[in-house]
Structure 1
Amino acid sequence: MVSSFLTSASTAGFTWRKSSFSGAQSNCVEVADDVPGIVPVRDSKNPHGAALLFTTNAWTAFVGELKRDGFPTI
């Protein structure tokens, strides 16, 4: 469940990453792992746009479901 969002000014100090399986394209989501208690997620095509915030439990459950349903490279 998405609880909130942050503007790009609020996320300026975050370290963003995307899956190594993404390649060089800019059509991915990026996550910041270094934020205690939340997982910010943004669109790589719009890195200066808002980031959605997920609780760590919600993000873990989401990724777990994707892996279980046939997306093991996430």
Structure 2
Amino acid sequence: MAVLCDMGSAVPTLKSLIAESPSPLPAGTRIVDAPFLEGAVAIILTPAIGGDLDSAPAAAEDARRYRKL
């Protein structure tokens, strides 16, 4: 599971949920630091165009560097 955290306060909340024993989140839950809309699009499209699921969070994090013209 990938959870997009585009706001700073979301990160500590999610980290505390991951650290709980037992965690209410699925095993392997990963924090993805990406803008919400661009990151969500990247996570959805990466596997749809042939990328593997492991590269989807990296594609979402890469969205942070997109230039808006």
TM-score by length of 2: 0.32
Which is helix-richer, 1 or 2? Answer: 2
Which is strand-richer, 1 or 2? Answer: 1
TM-score by length of 1: 0.31
